[in-house]
Structure 1
Amino acid sequence: MALTDKELQHFKHPVAVPGMGTAMQEKLKASRVLVIGAGGLGSPVIQYLSATGIGVIGIADYGVINDEDMHRQPIYQMQDLRKHKAKMASSRLWASNPFTKHYPLLVQIKPENVTQLIAEMDLVIDCSQHRPTHLVVNDACIANNKPFVIGEVHNWIAWWAGFNIPQTEGMLSASYRCCEALTDSYRNFDAGAMGITHGATGLLMVNEILKYLVAVPDGLINRLYSMDYLHNKFQMHSLSPDPAIIAQTKADGILTAEQYGMEIVPDVED
């Protein structure tokens, strides 16, 4: 998808980065991404995905903006309180980058709708920080052969990883179900949430996502990254796909909400 003259002006600085150029910027423009969750982690993810010129961003979030969450969701303003996140995020992002199409989706990701929502997307990014949603996304993406990214932030600790990432050799890539023991080790459900750790993690995730979308090899394939912001400890884990788990996931398909332990919320009345 060729860049217009206005887009060339708007993105002239990233285009000037060695190795990028107009060809890479055009790859970003051609990309279609679904981001699940527009809260503490999803906010910086969608802000920087939009700012870098992703062509289409679907924003799936049925929640509303609360005062106590503003410290980690700076995309919103006080005048937005109690309005829907997806709608306000779409409006704010268009105001800074009208070249990206931002689609607010006021829906809960659940077994009944997930296949339709991911069907036209090149990449799914799950920022829900909710295990049942992770499992629904995992199973739907495996069934529909879609790559996806999941991230979580717990106090000072964060992790993020790419799953089902295609490889040129046709080899299997790890799924979320293949490494749950590792991701569980990073969960800390103590009270509280830091704004800066969500923002920093979102930017690190987008850095890897952008490299993937412009075909920089290896960054998201079978790797899980973690960061302890309190002690400045960064780790990269190599993931191993489990063929038996992946085969079973494909055979089972998308399960029921009850099997995922997912509580279904009423549809949003807009």
Structure 2
Amino acid sequence: MAPVLGPAALIDAGVPTASPSLTPAETSRYARHILIPEVGLEGQRRLRSARVLVVGAGGLGSPALLYLAAAGVGTLGIVDDDVVDVTNLQRQVVHGVDDVGAAKTSSAARTVAAINPGVEVVEHRLRIDSDNALDLVSGYDLVVDGTDNFPTRYLLNDACVLTGKPHVWASIYRFDGQVSVWWAQHGPCYRCVFPEPPAPGLVPSCAEGGVLGVLPAAMGSVQSTEAIKLLLGIGEPLVGRLLVHDALRQTWDTLTVRKDPGCPVCGEHPTITELVDYRDFCGMPSVTDAGSGTDVVPTVSVRELRDLLRAREAGDGEPWTLVDVRGPEERSIVSIPGADVVLMDEFRSGAALSKIPADRPVIVHCKSGARSAEAVRLLRASGRTDARNLEGGVLAWVAEVDPSLPTY
């Protein structure tokens, strides 16, 4: 059975004690909470005095912000440097149609204010990194992790371990979700369970592989529940347990996870005592030429590609090959005309070399340029020094060449 971490553990972690008495209006608003013996007046006052940092105002951050605000958490910090895009609206319910183009922190703050004007919202419109993470995390009682990339997950984990804060984490992909509470003082941290990140490109992002729009609601609501339990010091938090959800089968499985004594950040002899370069740790340095290790992978702009396609249609110019590394689901949304399909797995296995004509230059593209850069790097390492990457990928093609096409 997971430990019951009472109010004393939270106070030790820096969670403030209950705030002064509720007003009559607040008492009415939160009456359904106050009726619960485990919450009561004191618990609701504790929520009002709490400070929660939500990192990412996207799919997971949306339900967390909505429910934490409705529950009366006194201060919500929102970290995000992105703007609302129309493709977000399928799942990021804290934003609406009128918010497209607006900063996500501002959009989320307006929604929170509409739900509960008594909640103080602190907007951190920035990308959390090794320079600012400790200061940000230190100013809050716990962190709700709504990020979608491995460098930021490891960064948040280490920042929470170093500051002693609970880390309420979740991840989502297509129909699958995971959620846990990492808290090194009472159980494992994220690194204990996931000591090494996957190789770059091995795990597709939601932007590449998709996600069922309602899945973030399920996982984000569990995160909200765990955050509230921690703030109140009630129940059995998901410390030492990993909750795994399969929405297609509609199952919830619980895995026991344990602290690693050799963990480099929270183990018996930690070697990580300050924040590091997490892009480098996750194997995501700046894209370089595999031959020299220093030269930037050569690129072609979408406007240059447009001119090459026009010349091809007119029967002019030297022969060349355009390759699309994306899967069929992505191509069904939008494609650049005239591209041959060679999937990323074929580049990684070496099979792509036999599929791409060797007697002409090749331009490779994907959604935004990251996967195709890897493909070009592999081609050039195999001797195809005539391979180039389409800068910005399909997204740049739509933005600069044919805005009538859909995006994703």
Normalising to structure 1: TM-score of the pair?
0.88
- Choose from 157, 174, 189 the match for 1:138: 157
1:1-270 alignment runs, 5 A limit: 1-2=19-20, 3-164=22-183, 166-167=185-186, 173-180=187-194, 189=205, 191-245=209-263, 246-247=266-267, 249=270, 251-261=272-282
Distance 1:250 1:51, change over 3 A: farther
Larger Cα-atom Rg:
2
Q: How many residues align?
A: 257
What is the deviation of 1:86? 0.7
CA contact (8 A) 1:257 1:263 kept: no
CA contact (8 A) 1:62 1:107 kept: yes
Distance 1:101 1:165, change over 3 A: farther
- C-alpha distance in structure 2 between counterparts of 1:250 and 1:51, whole Å: 41
Question: Which residue number in structure 2 is paired with residue 267 of structure 1?
Answer: none
Distance 1:43 1:249, change over 3 A: farther
Distance 1:182 1:158, change over 3 A: farther
CA contact (8 A) 2:152 2:278 kept: no
What is the deviation of 1:257? 4.4
CA contact (8 A) 1:143 1:250 kept: no
Structure showing greater relative contact order (alpha-carbon pairs closer than 8 Å, 6 or more residues apart): 1
Please, which runs of 5 or more residues in structure 2 have no aligned partner?
1-18, 287-408
What is the deviation of 1:110? 0.3
Please identify runs of 4+ aligned residues in structure 1 that moved more than 6 A: 181-184
- C-alpha distance in structure 2 between counterparts of 1:84 and 1:257, whole Å: 25
Distance 1:117 1:101, change over 3 A: same
Distance 1:88 1:263, change over 3 A: farther
What is the deviation of 1:252? 3.7
* Identity within the alignment, %: 27
Which residue identity is paired with 1:131?
Answer: F
Question: Which residue number in structure 2 is paired with residue 170 of structure 1?
Answer: none
Which residue identity is paired with 2:275?
Answer: I
Cα deviation, 1:214-234, whole Å, max 9, x if unaligned, reads 111432221111100100121
Distance 1:6 1:161, change over 3 A: same
Which residue identity is paired with 1:19?
Answer: E
- C-alpha distance in structure 1 between counterparts of 2:96 and 2:261, whole Å: 46
Which residue identity is paired with 1:8?
Answer: T
Cα deviation, 1:189-209, whole Å, max 9, x if unaligned, reads 562221111111111221122
Q: Alignment partner of 1:199: what SS?
A: helix
Normalising to structure 2: TM-score of the pair?
0.59
